Every structure is written in C-alpha cells, then in structure tokens.
A and B are shown apart, each in its own frame.
Chain A
Amino acid sequence: MENTHHKQSFWSKYVFSTDHKTIGTQYMIMGMIMAGVGGYLAYVFRYNLAFPGKSIPFYGMLGPQAYNAFVTIHGMIMVFWVGMPVLLSAFGNYLIPLMIGSDDMAFPTVNMMSFWIFAVSALVLIASFFVPGGAFGGGWTMYPPFSAGGYLDPNPNFFKALFSGTSLLILAVALELVAMLMGGINFLVTTINKRAKGMTAWRIPIIVWFLNIAAVIFMFSVGPLVAGAFMLLFDNVLGTGFYDPHRGGDPMLWEHLFWFFGHPEVYVLLLPSLGVLAEILPVFSRKPLFAYKTIIYLALASAFLSVLVWAHHQFVAGIDPRMATFFSIGTILISIPFAGIFLAFMATLWGGAIRMKVPMMWAIGFIGLFLVGGLTGLFLGSNTFDIYAHDTYFVVAHFHYTLFPDIFFGFFAAFYYWFPKFSGKQLNSSMGKWHFWLTFIFFNGVFFLLFFNGLAGQHRRINDYSSFSLISREPYQTFEQIATICAIGLMLTQFIFIFNVVKSLRKVKTGVKNPWEATTLEWVSDSPPPHGNFNPYPEVFRGAYDYSLPDAEVDFTPQNTPKA
C-alpha cells in the first residue's frame, strides 16, 4: 500500500492547500511576519519613550497621534495576529490530526478558507496605516468614544467613515474572529470524530485537550463581541448611537462586550502554551505527566471561571463597588486552577532524569517568567490595588510577563521541540541556547524595571515624559532607557533564531523518526509527515505519557505499543 497522489500544482500544494500541515505552517509563517511588524512598532515607540524628541533610526520623528496608533496596533497585532494564529491555529492545525492519529482535519476546505480570511484580515489591518487620518490610536480595547466617530458627527460621510482607521480596524478584527471561529469548529469536530482506534478521551495528549478547551472558550465568548462590533461599526459609518450616552446608548456596554470576550481570550492564548509545556516536560524529565486527569479538570474549571471575571478590567470605569468585589473574588479564584496546573508541572519535574535540551529550557523559562506575571496579577485582581495601579506601567509589565512567556516562550519551546517533526532536521542547539539566554535576560531587562515605574505612578499612554516635570524624574527615565536598550537587544536576538532556522533547513535530513524519544503519536509518523500522515494508521493502546515504565526495556513506550 502506498500513498499515490495526482501531481499537485504549486498553487494547490503550497498556496491554496487543504493539507492541515501546510495550513498550520502558513499560519505560523504569517504569525511570525506579523510578530516582526508588531516588534518594529514596539521598537519605534519604545525608542520614543526613552529618547523623546529625538529622530528614531529607521523611522524618523514620532508624533503623539502616531505614538498612540503604534501602541494600539502593536497590542492588536500581538494578540490577534501573532498569539491567536501561532498558538491556536498553527499548533492546532499541525498537531491535532497528528497527535490523535488522523489523516487530516474534519473540514479541509473550511480550514483553507479560514487561513485566507485570516490573511485578508492582516492586510486590512496593515492598510489602516495608510488611510487618511492613519491607524486607530485609541488603545487596543477600542473604547468608545475614541472608537465611535459617529459621536462627533451624527451624519458621517459614509465612505470617508468606512475607510477610516477605526472602521478598518473593526473590520480586520471581525474577519480575524471569523477565521478563528472556522478553525475552532474544525478542531472540535476533528477531535471528537477523527481519533485513531483506541484513542479514548483519557488517552488524548494534554495539548489536544487544551486546544479544544481554548476553542470552546473562544466560541462562547466571541459571539457578543461580534454583535458589539457591528454596533460599533454602525456608530462609526451610519451615525447610530449604541454607545453614545447622549443618544440613550451606553459606552459601558462596549466595555462589557469587549471584556466578556477579552478576558477569556487571555486563557484562549494561555491554554495552548500550557499544553506545549505538558508535552515537553514529561519527555525531558523521562517521567509520566503528574496528575493527567486533574490537569484536565483544572483546565475545565478555569474555562468556566474565565467567563465570570471580565469586569476586573473596568474597576475604574465606574462600576458598582459591590459588583467589583464579586469580580475581584472571581479573579483571585481563577488563579487556583492555574496554580494547580503549574504545581502538577513541578511535580512532573520532581525526581525526573532531566535532559536540559533547548525545548526544555524554554519550557522552564516559561514557568519562571509566568510566575512573576501570575503573582502580580493577584495584586491587580484586587480592586483596591487596581484603582491605584490602573493604566500604569505596572499593568504593562504584568501582562507582558504573562503574554510574552505565553506567546513567545511557548512558541519557541514548541518550535524547537517539533522542528525535527516538520522538517526532518535538527536545529543547532548551541545557537538555540544563546537564543534562549539572551531572550530571557533581555526580556527581564525590558519589563522588570517597569514595575517600579508603574508603582511610581507613571502612566502608560504618555508619549513624552519630558513635557511632564512632575512625573518625569529619576531613576524612572533611566529605567525607560534601560528598557528600550534591552528591547532592541531582544529584537536583535531573534535574528539568531532566524539564522538558525535558515541554516538548519539547508542541512540534510537526519532520518531520525523520534529524536526526543517521545511517546505521542505524531512521532510514529515519518518526519516530515507525508500527505495522509500515517501508513498504516496507528492503533492506540495506552495513555500519552508512559515514560520509564518499570518492566519496559526502554524508558519510553509509545502510545501504539500493545499492552503486554
């Protein structure tokens, strides 16, 4: 039996491909390109913060309006056009069929359309920089009245309003959400329906569980925002008053709709990365994952709690203090399931025969950095502290300490781990270690000092502190400069990674099927996997983490090994 295929043209093989591996790769490349754009924006406004009034190399002078637009679009890109496609779509598309022993996703054509809608959404976003008035600059949360031009103009010029930075941003986000919804439908149906024989619910690897839980959270929180985005668009282009208090509307409505999606979104981004850790930690400590079922139950609990905490973003927006208490308690409660998951990860490491390879370094670095982000999150979850720290650099440092490890450490851990899978080649490990250590040090250099800036009351939306003598004082301006220099270092470090990938791709294939000696199904397939993935299809006899079984000859027992 062999895989015979009609010859595919370049277009159907690499561009409009329906193969889940190609689509996953497309998502990943698109996400990395967008990460470059987002990083460039960050470089420009960080440079402006450290050296206000100076001309910025590779950009020029940055005015206040452009500063706001850059900060806004930086946030948008990193969450919606880097985090979502890389963590959810790239991992989900590439890994789910391979890890459950299937040939492809349930709806390959829907999958292809999902990527191309996503690509269009990225173009619309970039285009918003080049319309009259420039890109939207009211913060990534798009709060009205900043985002509702209709306020200022009850009879807006339809086309002028439609091709404004605000409307294009809303359209881009809406398209992106549609693309992700289509992907989410695919994840759920594939996982429920297309598992290999013997792959029962309690044998599915954690990352597949987590990707599906993330897809469910996403689907059930994004709906109201889609409706809300329509209303915001109509406020802009038709002059309705959904969010205009003067017209009977309410701007708080948008805040609720946005954060009802926006907070669960944090967990949509976090769960796939935690899934990556759950795959990597057992492999490199040669031990079964500690408390497999408990981890899944904890993730389900956090998924439930995640839709009950959104208003903790609105403590200063004038919500009822009794309501604020409810959301404070919910926010602090949700740290319990995540603490449990991290505890299980620590217990997996405990007493293991640790192999300190590059993916493992990224995974452990993730845990260390996320701890800082998580603990400062506890402070901010309490409304009494949040009222003081709101919109300061403390918040900025906090969410970068959660999202940077989540998106980038999670991605790099996965990339170094699965690179042999999708290319059949190995990345250079000493370059990988340099990449890790420099990223780790520079990242802390950027954000650790900003906690102190925030506690000193520095506000995050000020583009030029030299105009405000009261808050522009030492050592905080020096901290800004250190942060900027480290940020530049952080971005330059990524060139090591790009160089490493390009160089490794030119090497010959190692021919090693399972270089990390892992147990999950994707390593049963060839590296790189052919169209159709498996030949013959595997049958599953055991859980995903059978390492160092006492009576086994080797210290890993793949899932398709029959029980004795």
Chain B
Amino acid sequence: METKQNHLTIPIIKIPQGRLGTWVLIAGELVIFGGLICCYLLFRIRYPHWGAMAAHTNTFIGALNTVVLLLSSYTIVRAHGAAVKLDVAKARLWMTCTLLGGVMFLVDKSIEYAHEISEGFTFTSPKLVAAGDHVGSLFWSFYYIMTGLHGAHVLAGMTAIFIVMMQIRKGNNLHRVELVGMYWHMVDLIWIFLFPLLYIAK
C-alpha cells in the first residue's frame, strides 16, 4: 500500500526543497528592503541636511546592536552545526542563545526609540514640523519605517526560531534549523546595511 508517493518523483537538481524555498523567500525580502534603501539614498543625496538629523541617532547603541546581531548569527551557525551532528540538546542551547541575542537587540532598540521619542523625533515629528523643519521630519519617517520593518523581521525570525526549537525537541525536522538560520542571516545582513546608513553617515 502506497500512502506517500513523493519519493517516486525523482528530483533532477538535488537541492532540499525547504532550502530552495527559503532562498527564494530571502530573494523576495531583499528586494523589499532594496527598494526602501534606494528611496532613502535618493533623498539622502538630495538633502544634505539629513546628516544633522542622523547625528541624533545613538551610534553606540547601533554599534552594540550590530555586535549583538553578529554574535547571534554565530550562535545560529553553531546550532546548525549541532543539528547536522543530530545533537538536539546542543542545537537547542545555541538557538536559545540566538533568541537571547534577538531579545537584547529589541531591548536596545526600545531604549533607543524611547530616547528619540522623548526628544521629539517621532514618526511624524510634529515638533520639527512646527519649527519649519519639514525635510528633517522626513528623515525620521524613513528612520522609523526602515528600522521598524527590520524590527518586524527580527521578531518574525525569532518566532520562526522558537517554533523550530519546539519542533526539533524529539529529533524531527532537524533540517529546519538551517532554514531559520538562513533567514536569521538575512535579518543580520539587512542591519549591516541600515547601521551605516542611519547611524554612521552624518
């Protein structure tokens, strides 16, 4: 009796299905951020004044977050290595480290947001608008939409990692560690672009 027929179809290119799907997903996500970054760059070139606005972002927290994300990428690589060796306990331990990195990133980001909002730099920055600095307020709109969308991806990545952590408890679906790892690297990579654009280039 045949219940599962998948094995009868012989794939020609032997790329595991999930890995291929994740690559395609990452390609699609990168274009979304690519479009956003292009828009930002065009305005940045048009308005040198944005440099003064970028000076208000906290470079130290930005740099700290870069390090945190890079470290969390390292730990997810270790998790993948453990998953390849079928070491479930170790894989879950390293994934927990990545999750902690994600949490720390979000905490840093919240502190930063709170600080900026208290200074009057919000999504629409009514203070700047009232002072006649319309162009400056647009910088903050871009700042919040870019970091906000990235933050949403951090959350999505953490959710995915958490779900996979639960799934592999009994040693099933270990290949999914690699998939969430790939996604997490993408989240990291996007931050590597956002950090210089929003924090360093003043």
Identify the A interface with B (CB < 8 A). Answer: 1-4, 101-103, 106-107, 154-155, 181, 184-185, 188-189, 192-197, 199-200, 219-228, 230-231, 234, 238-242, 246-250, 253, 257, 260, 532, 536-537
Q: For B17, what are the chain A residues with a Cβ–Cβ distance below 8 Å?
A: 106-107, 189, 193-194
**CA–CA, A250 to B138, complex, Å?**
11
A227 in contact with B9 given A185-B21, A241-B134, A241-B141 (CB within 8 Å): no
Contact B35 A223 (CB under 8 A): yes
Assuming the contacts A194-B11, A248-B137, asked whether A230 and B124 have C-beta atoms less than 8 A apart, the reply is: no
Q: Give Cα A238 to B30, complex, Å.
A: 26
Taken together as a complex, chains A and B put the C-alpha atoms of A4 and B2 apart, in Å, by 7
Residues of A within 8 A of B9 (CB): 101-103, 194-196, 537
Interface on chain B toward A: helix, strand, loop, or mixed SS? helix
Q: Which residues of B contact A154 (CB under 8 A)?
A: 124, 129
Inter-chain CA distance A231–B30, complex, in Å, is 17
Interface: B100 (CB within 8 A):
no
Cβ contact within 8 Å between B141 and A234: yes
Residues on B with C-beta less than 8 A from A155 are 126
Q: How far is the CA of A225 from the CA of B134 in the complex (A)?
A: 24
If A103-B9, A192-B15, A219-B28 touch, whether A227 touches B33 (CB-CB below 8 Å) is yes
Measured between beta carbons, the chain B residues less than 8 angstroms from A230 are 145, 149
B35 touches A227 (CB 8 A): yes
Report if B123 contacts A (CB, 8 A).
yes
The CA of A222 and the CA of B32, in the complex, are separated in Å by: 8
Contact partners of A193 in chain B: CB under 8 A? 11, 13, 15, 17, 20
The 11 listed contacts between A and B (C-beta, < 8 Å) are A2-B1, A185-B28, A200-B12, A224-B38, A226-B35, A227-B39, A231-B145, A241-B137, A247-B137, A248-B43, A537-B8
| Residues of chain B with a CB closer than 8 A to A257's CB | 35, 39
CB proximity of A235 to chain B, nearest CB, Å = 9
Residues of B in contact, count (CB < 8 Å): 45
Beyond known contacts A106-B20, A222-B28: 17 more, CB 8 A cutoff: A103-B6, A106-B17, A155-B126, A181-B28, A185-B21, A192-B20, A194-B11, A222-B31, A223-B29, A223-B30, A224-B31, A225-B35, A227-B33, A231-B39, A234-B123, A234-B145, A537-B5
Please, how many angstroms separate the alpha-carbon atoms of A195 and B10 in the complex? 7
Option from B20, B31, B134 in Cβ contact (under 8 Å) with A189 = B20
Q: Which residues on the A side are within 8 Å of B20 (C-beta)?
A: 106, 188-189, 192-193
Q: How far is the CA of A184 from the CA of B20 in the complex (A)?
A: 13
Least CB distance from B152 to A in Å reads 10
Please report the C-alpha to C-alpha distance between residue A196 and residue B5 in the assembled complex, in whole angstroms: 13
What is the minimal beta-carbon distance from B171 to any residue of chain A, in angstroms?
A: 22
- Chain B 96-127, CB-CB to A under 8 Å as 1, else 0, gives 00000000000000000000000000011010
User: Do B21 and A189 touch (CB < 8 A)?
Assistant: yes
Pairwise interchain contact B24-A219, C-beta atoms closer than 8 A = yes
- Distance between Cα atoms of A230 and B33 in the complex (Å): 12
Judge if B64 is at the interface, Cβ distance under 8 Å. Answer: no
The answer to whether B12 and A195 touch across the interface, beta carbons within 8 angstroms, is yes
B36 adjacent to chain A (CB < 8 Å): yes
A248→B135 contact, CB < 8 A:
yes
Shortest distance between the CB of B201 and any CB in chain A (Å)? 18
Contacts of B137 in A (CB 8 A): 241, 247-248
Q: With A195-B11, A196-B9 in contact, do A246 and B134 touch (Cβ < 8 Å)?
A: yes
Q: How many residue pairs bridge A and B at CB < 8 Å?
A: 136
Write the nearest CB–CB distance from A536 to chain B, whole angstroms. 7
Chain A residues whose C-beta falls within 8 Å of the C-beta of B3 in the assembled complex: 4
Interface centre among A196, A226, A228 (most CB of B within 10 A): A226
Question: Please, which residues of chain A bring their CB within 8 A of the CB of B47?
Answer: 248
Q: A185-B21, A223-B34, A228-B35 in contact; A536/B8 too (CB < 8 A)?
A: yes
A446 and B168 alpha carbons, distance in the complex (Å): 61
Contact B124 A238 (CB under 8 A): yes
Q: Does B25 contact A (CB under 8 A)?
A: yes
Give the chain A neighbours of B29 by CB distance below 8 A.
Answer: 223
Report B-chain residues with C-beta under 8 Å of the C-beta of A248.
43, 47, 134-138
User: With contacts A3-B2, A227-B33, A248-B135 known, is A189 near B11, CB below 8 A?
Assistant: no
How many Å lie between the Cα of A207 and that of B34 in the bound state? 30
Query: CA A228 – CA B20 in complex, angstroms?
Result: 27
Interface flag for B163 (CB, 8 Å): no
Cross-chain contact of B1 among A4, A249, A537 (Cβ < 8 A): A4
Name the residue of chain B whose CB is nearest to the CB of A240. Answer: B141
Contact between B134 and A247, CB atoms less than 8 A apart: yes
Question: A103's closest neighbor in chain B, by CB?
Answer: B5
B27 at the interface (CB under 8 A from A): yes
Instruction: Compute how far the CA of A184 lies from the CA of B21 in the bound complex, rounded to whole angstroms.
Output: 10
**Does A239 lie within 8 Å of B124, measured CB to CB?**
yes
Complex CA distance for A196 and B123, rounded to whole angstroms? 53
Residues of B close to A249: CB separation below 8 A: 138
Taken together as a complex, chains A and B put the C-alpha atoms of A196 and B142 apart, in Å, by 48
CB–CB A219/B138 < 8 A: no
Taken together as a complex, chains A and B put the C-alpha atoms of A197 and B11 apart, in Å, by 7
Contact yes or no, B27 A227, CB < 8 A: no
Q: Which 7 pairs between the two chains have the least Cβ-Cβ distance?
A: A224-B35, A223-B31, A248-B135, A223-B32, A227-B36, A248-B138, A240-B141
B138 contacts A242, C-beta separation under 8 Å: yes
CB distance from B1 to the nearest CB of A (A): 6
Minimum Cβ distance to chain B for residue A422 (Å)? 20
Smallest beta-carbon distance B123→chain A, Å:
6
C-alpha gap A219/B31 in the complex (Å): 8
Query: Which residues of A are found within 8 Å of B138, using beta-carbon distances?
Result: 240-242, 247-249
A242 and B6 CA atoms in complex are apart in Å by 49
